[in-house]
Amino acid sequence: MELLIVGTLEGQIGAASKIAVAQGGHVSLADKIETALDILRSGKSVELVMIDVKLDIYKFISSLEQERINVLVVACGVANDPSLAVKAIKAGAKEYIPLPPDPELIGAVLAAATRENHALIYGDKKTEAILKMAKQIAPSEASVLLTGNSGTGKEIFSRFIHDNSKRANKKFVAVNCAAIPETLLESELFGYEKGAFTGAVARRIGKFEEASDGTLLLDEISEMDIGIQAKLLRAIQEKEIDRIGGKAPIKVNTRIIATSNRNLEEAVKNGSFRQDLYYRLNVININIPDLKDRPGDIPVLAKHFIKKFSELNDLPMKDLAPAAEQKLLNYLWPGNVRELENTMHRAVLLSTGDEIGEEAILLTDASAVINPEPQPDNSEPQVGQTVAGMERRLIIDTLKHTMGNRTTAANILGISIRTLRNKLKQYQEEGFDIPASPQG
């Protein structure tokens, strides 16, 4: 844990530093905001900033946002000045620590900052197989391309690869190519020298340099402008970059993991993505399935999120009721894991009983709800219908609700995928219409 302390902290720097070091932290000191910004611009690995509440925290955090420096900021100050604490939180500080520092409180803040927020939680055999492959290729130096729809957890999987690589003790740096304007992405990746352009008030180390000897995640790389793609290709091939305004190339040793929620082969065909870059990135391709295609992950992730948000909101931990769990399984999760996380956050806040019941599970897309027991069609008599006929109708209707997805339908029906396929083959031979599989 790399900690940067900014300001005098009312003479409590020594005490705060000692506590931080005892908690496993490494401490750097800056007497003023500009010094702190210079340290962060240099690419130094800092995970948490503790800043004196009497400094201009709004200016500091605004500078961080303007220069796109991502770091957790907590304010510190004398306990009897609540107005400054409120002002610091409004300015963007995530927490306020009163001084003199309490070892347990600082320990809790450090633990929160270093807590594994990227834990890979799973319970499905398909996810287990993906992780086995990811772990196998992680120690290599090969570039990796992770594909899959938004919200499937591609960044979590990329961190898993880094954590199991030979670079695990080095930095993992993520850049969201879709979130950064085209005009700024080049400077974000490669950095710039002071005065290189209007607003370049100091030298800024780019993400390639920051991640040197570690791993650089290029999230949603399909959104990258084709002009920057050429410079990225050179950086990967030659292992060197040029800062904007720089006079000489800089050697880097950065492993690349890229993600995309679009079909890059199609992007190559339509000219929006360079074919040579695609081949460079696609040394190893891992596709992350939608959450509905790995239903075994749903209850495990749901319980993980219940624990996370119960702790975050200081609420008692509750069990997930069986009916609530079934409601989660009877949903197609168009927003994938991200939607499940938001749903469970709401459920934790809305639950009023001793457990989280189905009434607390508010689903946002009614069309994605699966009904495992379709209501009878009143136009058809039910009395006298055979058990085999009822079973056939239940299976086919469930398959319609899953939009042809065999795995999800089998899970809802409580039968094996092999049994389902045998039944469908039989119905097809008998002349019944069977919903097509989404895989074709």
Which residues in 218-238 are b (16+ Cβ under 10 Å) and which e?
bbbbbbbeeebbeebbebbee
Q: Is residue 115's pLDDT more than 60?
A: no
172 forms beta bridges with: 215
pLDDT computed for residue 365 by the predictor: 86
Average the pLDDT over 417-439 and give the result: 83
Q: For residues 37 and 30, what is the distance between their CA atoms, to the nearest angstrom?
A: 9
Q: For residues 77 and 8, what is the distance between their CA atoms, to the nearest angstrom?
A: 10
Q: For residues 435 and 402, what is the distance between their CA atoms, to the nearest angstrom?
A: 9
User: What does the block give as tokens for 93?
Assistant: 């500080």
According to DSSP H, which parts of 42-145 are helical?
57-66, 82-91, 103-114, 125-137
Report yes or no: 145 and 154 within 8 Å, Cβ to Cβ.
Answer: no
- Ranking 56-60, 78-82, 88-92 by mean pLDDT, the lowest is 78-82
Whether 292-368 and 125-289 are alike in CATH topology: the answer is no
Report yes or no: 343 and 304 within 8 Å, Cβ to Cβ.
Answer: no
Report yes or no: 233 and 273 within 8 Å, Cβ to Cβ.
Answer: no
Q: For residues 97 and 68, what is the distance between their CA atoms, to the nearest angstrom?
A: 25
User: What does the block give as tokens for 199?
Assistant: 């607003």
Query: Domains of the chain: which residue ranges?
Result: 2-114, 125-289, 292-368, 370-440
Higher pLDDT, 7 or 290: 290
Task: Give the amino acid at 431.
Answer: G
Among 3.10.580.10, 1.10.8.60, 1.10.10.10, 3.40.50.150, name the CATH number for the domain at 292-368: 1.10.8.60
In whole angstroms, how large is the CA radius of gyration of the chain? 26
For residue range 275-330, list pLDDT tens digits in order. Answer: 999 999 999 999 999 999 999 999 999 999 998 889 878 889 999 999 999 999 99
Of 253, 170, 248, 238, the closest CA to residue 208 belongs to 253
Maximum mean pLDDT: which of 88-97, 98-107, 314-323, 415-424: 314-323
pLDDT-derived band at 379, boundaries 50, 70, 90: very low
- Ranking 127-136, 137-146, 419-428 by mean pLDDT, the lowest is 419-428
User: Crossing angle of helices 336-350/297-312, nearest 10°?
Assistant: 50
Look up the pTM and report it: 0.65
Which residues in 105-134 are b (16+ Cβ under 10 Å) and which e?
ebbebbebbbeeeeeebbbbebbeebbeeb
* Count of residues in the chain: 440
| Superfamily for the 125-289 domain | P-loop containing nucleotide triphosphate hydrolases (3.40.50.300)
The CATH number that domain 2-114 falls under is: 3.40.50.2300
Distances (CA, A) of 305 to 85, 175, 348, 373: 30, 25, 9, 28
pLDDT computed for residue 118 by the predictor: 55
Can you tell me whether residue 384 is helix, strand or coil? coil
Q: For residues 271 and 367, what is the distance between their CA atoms, to the nearest angstrom?
A: 35
Average the pLDDT over 12-29 and give the result: 71
Topology adopted by domain 370-440: Arc Repressor Mutant, subunit A (1.10.10)
Q: For residues 68 and 23, what is the distance between their CA atoms, to the nearest angstrom?
A: 28
Q: For residues 313 and 155, what is the distance between their CA atoms, to the nearest angstrom?
A: 25
Q: For residues 309 and 100, what is the distance between their CA atoms, to the nearest angstrom?
A: 30
pLDDT computed for residue 42 by the predictor: 78
According to DSSP H, which parts of 239-351 are helical?
264-269, 275-281, 297-312, 322-329, 336-350
pLDDT computed for residue 418 by the predictor: 85
